[in-house]
């Protein structure tokens, strides 16, 4: 226990509070409690730093943020764009655009009927809320379609919350696929390497901003205990919804994407810059473009002018990437497996063995060690350095009988080598029969293929570090049979 008088400054969500006197208690390795006793106040403040929050505390914090007036949350230089953050205005029916979602059916497709799912009393209440709200907005309408897809609910992460769903599997099987690509996350992240300030924007209503092409609405009809309805806007679950939406976003922001200071993945927009004045001009340009296209934003999910932001499940800081801590939290609570079901493809060889046909499930000491080691590795949250085309790359490859592991590295400003990326590959049964020199070479060729967009045409030669003793085999003349 550490006890000493102090006069700390505590920063909480950009607010600073000066405490007159206090006691600093060391509670745990990762948690500090500050008790302050402020003159004239009856009750003391108690502030936990890096303490774990309960679900109710997190929800309370979120509610507090949402409860603040829009003017407090929106930066002053964007005040003339406050209309882009108004929830009520965002409920408008979207305009018809060239991007209206088409549902093109295969020539042999035949409309199918479906059964009605029974709903619990709570689900009926949620059904009525969903139908009434979307009828009011014009997002759905009564239908006489020959096609009907099931309607039901699934549980959300929030305790007791329900999410309405349509089961469009039959429709999707009969739909001609739109192969428009979603961006590669690695390509998006590569663009951020020199950025020092970020603004993240989150579109409100997502897919509902796109109309279904006139004449195609009947194809997405869904059946409920209250009747048959068809959507007039794009819903989740339709096979080509992601392609339609990404094409729309890429098109309306095309010039910004081409200029290289903006990336977009579905309804997430990230603006990035090296300095603040340019960044503010860029943010205004994006908001003006969203206004031109009648799009709105969720203010509570937007982040303005930050040096650290969460984007696509990764924590982005200037020059570095790390894993989102909340994504890793559940790993701490992984229980020892009791069946062969689960995502064992990501686990090490001792665990892979359990998935083989006719293998008896037996939890051995070796498997327990592998399981706990994997949890520990995940929770280390390694920070990746952004690849820099102007610096030489180093590939470190290692191979065992069962798998390969490869790391892409570059020298950082501290003179040390830092990881830019990782690759692991568990050998197939055939690959395990390769000679050691073939397995070593396979690790290197896999790495060169995976990272060729960094390595080809680089300013410096690429250094490969591996077990050279095994690879000397390829430097000698071979006798072919």
How confident is the model over 220-228, as a mean pLDDT? Answer: 96
User: Strand 222-224 relative to strand 149-155: parallel, antiparallel, unpaired?
Assistant: parallel
Give residue 54's pLDDT band: very low, low, confident or very high (50, 70, 90). Answer: very low
Q: Rounded mean pLDDT of the chain?
A: 78
- Residue identified by tokens 């008088």 is 5
Whole-structure pTM value: 0.63
pLDDT for position 407: 85
Give residue 212's pLDDT band: very low, low, confident or very high (50, 70, 90). Answer: very high
Distance (Å, whole) CA 220 – CA 89: 26
pLDDT of 63 above 70: no
How confident is the model over 87-113, as a mean pLDDT? Answer: 95
How confident is the model over 282-301, as a mean pLDDT? Answer: 96
pLDDT for position 375: 64
Give residue 397's pLDDT band: very low, low, confident or very high (50, 70, 90). Answer: confident
pLDDT of 78 above 90: yes
pLDDT of 332 above 60: no
Residue 131: which of 111, 161, 151, 149 has the closest Cα? Answer: 151
Give residue 53's pLDDT band: very low, low, confident or very high (50, 70, 90). Answer: very low
Contacts from 279-287 at CB under 8 Å and sequence distance 24+? 279/197, 279/199, 279/305, 280/77, 280/305, 282/256, 283/78, 283/199, 284/77, 284/78, 284/81, 285/256, 286/201, 286/253, 286/256, 286/262, 287/78, 287/81, 287/84
pLDDT for position 1: 41
Outline where 275-338 has alpha helix (H).
276-292, 325-329
How confident is the model over 288-315, as a mean pLDDT? Answer: 92
pLDDT for position 402: 77
pLDDT of 225 above 90: yes
Digit-coded pLDDT (tens) for 121-134: 999 999 999 999 99
Which is more confident, 318 or 172?
Answer: 172
pLDDT for position 373: 67
How confident is the model over 217-245, as a mean pLDDT? Answer: 96
pLDDT of 167 above 60: yes
How confident is the model over 178-197, as a mean pLDDT? Answer: 87
pLDDT for position 471: 64
Residue 320's beta-bridge partner residues?
A: 317, 385
Which is more confident, 401 or 347?
Answer: 401
Of the chain, the percentage scoring pLDDT greater than 90 comes to 42
How confident is the model over 292-321, as a mean pLDDT? Answer: 89
User: Strand 384-385 relative to strand 140-142: parallel, antiparallel, unpaired?
Assistant: unpaired
Which is more confident, 58 or 232?
Answer: 232
Cβ partners under 8 Å of residue 363, min gap 6:
336, 337
Which is more confident, 136 or 438?
Answer: 136
DSSP state of 52: P
Distance (Å, whole) CA 379 – CA 442: 29
Lowest model confidence (mean pLDDT) among 81-85, 341-345, 423-427: 341-345
How confident is the model over 329-348, as a mean pLDDT? Answer: 47
pLDDT for position 414: 81
Cβ atoms of residues 264 and 247 within 8 Å: no
pLDDT for position 98: 95
pLDDT for position 258: 95
pLDDT of 220 above 80: yes
Which is more confident, 354 or 176?
Answer: 176
How confident is the model over 472-479, as a mean pLDDT? Answer: 59
pLDDT for position 420: 81
Helix H, strand E, coil C: the string for 285-300 is HHHHHHHHCCCCECHH
pLDDT for position 31: 39
User: Strand 463-465 relative to strand 394-399: parallel, antiparallel, unpaired?
Assistant: parallel
pLDDT for position 61: 52
């Amino acid at each position: 226990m550490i006890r000493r008088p102090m006069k700390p400054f505590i920063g909480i969500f950009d607010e600073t509070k000066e405490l007159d006197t206090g006691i600093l208690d060391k509670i745990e390795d990762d948690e500090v409690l500050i008790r302050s006793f402020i003159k004239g106040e009856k009750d003391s403040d108690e502030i936990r730093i890096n303490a774990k929050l309960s679900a109710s505390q997190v929800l309370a914090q979120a509610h507090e943020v949402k409860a603040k007036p829009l003017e407090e949350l929106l930066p002053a230089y964007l005040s003339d764009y406050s209309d882009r953050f108004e929830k009520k205005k965002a409920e408008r029916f979207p305009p018809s655009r060239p991007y209206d979602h088409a549902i093109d059916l295969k020539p042999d497709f035949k409309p199918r009927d479906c059964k009605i799912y029974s709903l619990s009393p709570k689900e009926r209440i949620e059904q009525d809320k969903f139908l009434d709200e979307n009828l009011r907005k014009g997002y759905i309408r009564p239908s006489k379609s020959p096609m009907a897809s099931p309607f039901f609910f699934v549980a959300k992460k929030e305790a007791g919350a329900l999410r309405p769903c349509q089961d469009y599997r039959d429709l999707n099987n009969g739909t001609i696929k739109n192969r428009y690509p979603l961006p590669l996350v690695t390509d998006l992240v590569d663009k951020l390497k020199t950025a020092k300030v970020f603004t993240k924007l989150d579109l409100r209503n997502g897919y509902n901003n796109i109309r279904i092409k006139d004449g195609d609405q009947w194809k997405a009809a869904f059946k409920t205990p209250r009747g048959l309805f068809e959507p007039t806007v794009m819903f989740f679950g339709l096979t080509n919804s992601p392609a339609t939406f990404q094409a729309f976003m890429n098109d309306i922001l095309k010039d910004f994407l081409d200029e290289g200071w903006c990336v977009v993945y579905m309804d997430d927009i990230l603006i990035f810059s090296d300095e603040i004045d340019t960044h503010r001009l860029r943010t205004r340009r994006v908001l003006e473009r969203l206004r031109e296209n009648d799009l709105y934003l969720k203010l509570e999910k937007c982040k303005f002018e930050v040096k650290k932001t969460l984007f696509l499940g990764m924590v982005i800081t200037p020059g570095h990437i790390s894993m989102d801590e909340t994504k890793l939290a559940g790993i701490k609570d992984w229980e020892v497996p009791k069946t062969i079901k689960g995502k064992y493809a990501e686990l090490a060889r001792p665990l892979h063995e359990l998935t083989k046909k006719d293998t008896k499930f037996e939890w051995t000491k070796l498997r327990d060690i592998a399981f706990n080691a994997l949890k520990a590795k995940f929770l280390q949250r390694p920070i990746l350095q952004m690849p820099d085309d102007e610096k030489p790359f180093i590939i470190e490859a290692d191979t065992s009988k069962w798998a390969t592991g490869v790391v892409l590295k570059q020298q950082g400003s501290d003179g040390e080598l830092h990881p830019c990326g990782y690759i692991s590959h568990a050998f197939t049964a055939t690959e395990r029969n390769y000679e050691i020199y073939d397995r070593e070479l396979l690790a290197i060729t896999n790495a060169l293929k995976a990272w060729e967009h960094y390595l080809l045409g680089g300013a410096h030669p690429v250094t490969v570090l591996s077990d050279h003793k095994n690879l000397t085999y390829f430097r000698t003349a071979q006798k072919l049979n």
